[in-house]
Chain A
Amino acid sequence: MHTPKNIIQKIWEKHVVHQEEGKPDLLYIDLHLVHEVTSPQAFEGLRMNGRKVRRPDLTYATMDHNVPTRQRLVINDPISKKQIDTLQENCQEFGVTLADIHHPDNGIVHVIGPELGLTQPGKTIVCGDSHTSTHGAFGSLAFGIGTSEVEHVLATQTLWQAPPKTLNVKVNGKLGTGVTAKDLILAIIGKFGVQFGTGYVMEYTGEAIRSLSMEERMTVCNMSIEAGARAGLITPDETTFEYLRGRRHVPQGEAFEEAVAEWKALATDEGASYDRVVEIEAAEVEPQVTWGTNPGMCIPITANVPNPDETEKPSEKDEIKRALEYMGLEAGQPISSVKIDHVFIGSCTNSRLSDLRSAAEVVRGKKVSPTVTAIVVPGSFSVKLAAEKEGLDKVFTDAGFEWREAGCSMCLAMNDDIVPPGERCASTSNRNFEGRQGNGARTHLVSPEMAAAAAVAGHFVDVRQVSAAQEVR
């Protein structure tokens, strides 16, 4: 009898190239995704040492962080332009496939990996970007790395890594109507804190997780890093296999069925254990809004902004105070009373077709509040085209949203899409750190539905009431 293993341990063991006393494991990497910001010095390092990319066939590059979303081809910032041109040259020199700005496969790295079927169950996947955890939705072990690690993977297709501890995040029961995957992951981080995953790889399990679509699962896994975990994954199942069937880079026909059989065997064995288990009841989760300066500072839309004087832990008092000050909020004010200036629907967390569809449903036939500037930035070229085919662009523009080209955009404000100092943005992205969307910008993380509803109302509203009213009519 062999010891029962969880999926994380199984994937790990399959990828160990070499093990020796006193050293981390040498881990094989199946897929290396590359973008323009964290790769230039890595390629330069290869050049300085006369090294090659070991497996260009397992390496795939795109441009996303700097790409302008108004006019794709007009890059005003010379440094952005240089990063983009450099990636082009490096990919050419080292023989790496690149979906550049002109390419129909271009988009945010964590959106196109799954779209193209590059992301597959059981793979080890790395990228010089912390939200690489997104790909875990497929049952792959996916994590972000730094520039010298990017170079290491380019040259050797491996990394020295200590085996992670494993954490089971169990979500029991079903999510209520109007409650999304974004609300779920925010509620998880809100409940257990922004560090509970540190040192772990997480597996999300339970009924609520099983009933999520692939795009919803990506939203959940995307934010694993905001809980401190380098990676978070979900065991692949029929939902996963159906999503992947026929995609460009997955095996086709007979070979696909063989792959499915292999992927099924990855599932956690009966009786396998984890280093830690946490549980949450899905039915208790309400639509969430972050009020502070990290993703764990979130509350249900029905709640009030916390009061630093009422917190139980004195150490939190100062933190809450500082966050309220930065965010320009009053202690104890209802979050639904908070007026917003900007709405950003996009980022690798919530810019896929289903996200745009559900946001469009909320704004259909309505108008964006005159005090709000609202933009929609699809996650990829192909999401954009698919949405336009369904007429979603029209729904958004009729309502007064700007319909943009694909890219990271206002998620991190590296291109021209910036929230001005002191202004407030309802954003479907994943980080609300100080200055993330621009110097002094105030970010509130929400689901696409909640962002859309806030755009119309001019302040946060409970999307469940908005949709209920719609149904009555």
Chain B
Amino acid sequence: MEPLKTHQGLVYPLNRSNIDTDQIIPKQFLKRIERSGFGQFLFYHWRFDDEGNLRPDFSLNNPKYQGASILVAGENFGCGSSREHAPWAVQDFGFKIVIAPSYADIFKNNCVKNGILPIQVSDEQVQYIIRKAESEEYQLTVDLENQVVYDNEGFKVSFDIVPYPKVMLLNGWDEIGVTLTYEDKIAEYELSK
């Protein structure tokens, strides 16, 4: 995975709470055998009607958010099942960062495993960002090293992150990548058998 040190990108605001994994990626797409390509099914029932036509009234279909890489949403994002398809869809659609007041635990872990940075800030700060992004083309910069998010108008907020996931994201490591740094030990163990 690519290292994520600082990232500047367009914000997409989704002002809903308790967005569950069924809404992020509906059940019928789980039987696929691919790892990639889940982005096209992200928020499927919100983006498309029953005939598969784009719903023009759903904000993500608005051309002004095209190319957004920062997803901002309400509390308890990613609740529901532990399926890994949900972060796969978020990431494959092009989002590198999620900002929300709170997350489901498993979803948060699965994000880091898949190279997405889940940032947790207060409800007020999330609401501020959402309002800005709804009214204008709004860019944010995320500095993971220093654990801050800011815009170019003076808005700045810091966030907490556990050390181990931070190191993984900064270096672009996935869990396998981390384990492979112990390859000598694994090889040594294999020799001793």
Residues of A within 8 A of B (CB): 17-18, 26, 28, 40-41, 44-45, 48-49, 51, 54, 79, 82-83, 86, 146-148, 151-152, 155-158, 160
Complex Cα distance, B84 from A17, in Å, reads 27
- A44 close to B179 (CB less than 8 A): no
Complex Cα distance, B186 from A156, in Å, reads 8
Q: Which B residue sits closest to A26, measured CB to CB?
A: B182
Contacts of A51 in B (CB 8 A): 176
Interface centre among A41, A146, A147 (most CB of B within 10 A): A41
- B33 close to A17 (CB less than 8 A): no
- A45 close to B35 (CB less than 8 A): yes
Q: Which A residue sits closest to B183, measured CB to CB?
A: A156
Query: What's the nearest-Cβ distance from chain B to residue A166, in Å?
Result: 23
Contacts of A152 in B (CB 8 A): 175-176, 179
Q: Which B residue sits closest to A45, measured CB to CB?
A: B35
B51 in contact (CB, < 8 A): no
Looking at the complex, which one of A18, A49, A86 makes contact with B33 (CB distance below 8 Å)? Answer: A86
- A18 close to B185 (CB less than 8 A): yes
Q: Which B residue sits closest to A20, measured CB to CB?
A: B182
Complex Cα distance, B34 from A54, in Å, reads 21
- Is chain B's interface secondary structure helix, strand, loop, or mixed overall? helix
Interface centre among B36, B175, B176, B182 (most CB of A within 10 A): B176
Chain B residues 147-185 with CB under 8 Å of chain A are 174-176, 179-180, 182-183, 185
Q: Pick 27 A–B contacts, CB within 8 A, sort by A.
A: A17-B189, A26-B182, A26-B185, A26-B186, A28-B189, A28-B190, A40-B35, A41-B33, A41-B35, A44-B36, A48-B35, A49-B174, A49-B176, A83-B33, A86-B33, A146-B82, A148-B113, A152-B176, A152-B179, A155-B176, A156-B179, A156-B180, A156-B183, A157-B190, A158-B182, A160-B175, A160-B179
Contacts of B82 in A (CB 8 A): 146
Complex Cα distance, B189 from A48, in Å, reads 27
Complex Cα distance, B31 from A44, in Å, reads 14
Are A157 and B186 CB-contacts (below 8 A) given A40-B34, A45-B35, A148-B113? yes
Are A158 and B179 CB-contacts (below 8 A) given A17-B185, A26-B185? yes
- B113 close to A28 (CB less than 8 A): no
> What's the interface size class on B, roughly?
20 to 34
Are A17 and B113 CB-contacts (below 8 A) given A44-B36, A83-B33? no
Q: Which A residue sits closest to B33, measured CB to CB?
A: A40
Query: What's the nearest-Cβ distance from chain A to residue B149, in Å?
Result: 28
Looking at the complex, which one of B113, B176, B182 makes contact with A18 (CB distance below 8 Å)? Answer: B182
Contacts of B189 in A (CB 8 A): 17, 28
- A44 close to B182 (CB less than 8 A): no
Query: Which 10 pairs, one residue from A and one from B, show the smallest C-beta to C-beta distance?
Result: A44-B35, A40-B33, A41-B35, A17-B189, A156-B179, A86-B33, A79-B31, A155-B176, A18-B185, A17-B185
Q: Which A residue sits closest to B182, measured CB to CB?
A: A18
Are A156 and B185 CB-contacts (below 8 A) given A40-B33, A44-B36, A148-B84? no
Complex Cα distance, B174 from A156, in Å, reads 13
Complex Cα distance, B179 from A54, in Å, reads 12
Query: What's the nearest-Cβ distance from chain B to residue A145, in Å?
Result: 12
Q: Which B residue sits closest to A414, measured CB to CB?
A: B31
Q: Which A residue sits closest to B178, measured CB to CB?
A: A160
- B176 close to A41 (CB less than 8 A): no
Contacts of A83 in B (CB 8 A): 31, 33
- A151 close to B176 (CB less than 8 A): yes
Contacts of B110 in A (CB 8 A): 148
Q: Which A residue sits closest to B176, measured CB to CB?
A: A155
- A48 close to B36 (CB less than 8 A): yes
Complex Cα distance, B177 from A49, in Å, reads 10
Q: Which B residue sits closest to A18, measured CB to CB?
A: B185
Q: Which A residue sits closest to B88, measured CB to CB?
A: A41
Contacts of B182 in A (CB 8 A): 17-18, 26, 158
Complex Cα distance, B35 from A155, in Å, reads 16
Contacts of B84 in A (CB 8 A): 41, 146-148
Q: Which B residue sits closest to A156, measured CB to CB?
A: B179
Are A17 and B186 CB-contacts (below 8 A) given A148-B84, A160-B179? yes
- A148 close to B175 (CB less than 8 A): yes
Chain B residues 1-58 with CB under 8 Å of chain A are 31, 33-36
Query: What's the nearest-Cβ distance from chain B to residue A68, in Å?
Result: 17
With contacts A40-B34, A157-B186 known, what are 16 further pairs, Cβ within 8 A?
A17-B182, A18-B185, A28-B189, A41-B34, A41-B84, A45-B35, A48-B36, A54-B186, A79-B31, A147-B84, A148-B110, A152-B175, A155-B179, A156-B179, A156-B183, A160-B179
- B176 close to A156 (CB less than 8 A): yes
Contacts of B190 in A (CB 8 A): 28, 157
Interface centre among A49, A82, A158 (most CB of B within 10 A): A158
Complex Cα distance, B84 from A146, in Å, reads 9
Complex Cα distance, B183 from A389, in Å, reads 49
Complex Cα distance, B186 from A18, in Å, reads 8
- B33 close to A82 (CB less than 8 A): yes
Contacts of B113 in A (CB 8 A): 148
Contacts of B36 in A (CB 8 A): 44, 48
Complex Cα distance, B183 from A156, in Å, reads 8
Complex Cα distance, B182 from A54, in Å, reads 13
Query: What's the nearest-Cβ distance from chain B to residue A279, in Å?
Result: 34
Complex Cα distance, B175 from A105, in Å, reads 34
Contacts of A147 in B (CB 8 A): 84
Complex Cα distance, B172 from A126, in Å, reads 27
Q: Which A residue sits closest to B82, measured CB to CB?
A: A146
Complex Cα distance, B35 from A151, in Å, reads 11
- A155 close to B180 (CB less than 8 A): yes
Query: What's the nearest-Cβ distance from chain B to residue A14, in Å?
Result: 9
- B185 close to A44 (CB less than 8 A): no
Contacts of A155 in B (CB 8 A): 176, 179-180
Chain B residues 106-156 with CB under 8 Å of chain A are 110, 113
Interface centre among B33, B182, B190 (most CB of A within 10 A): B33
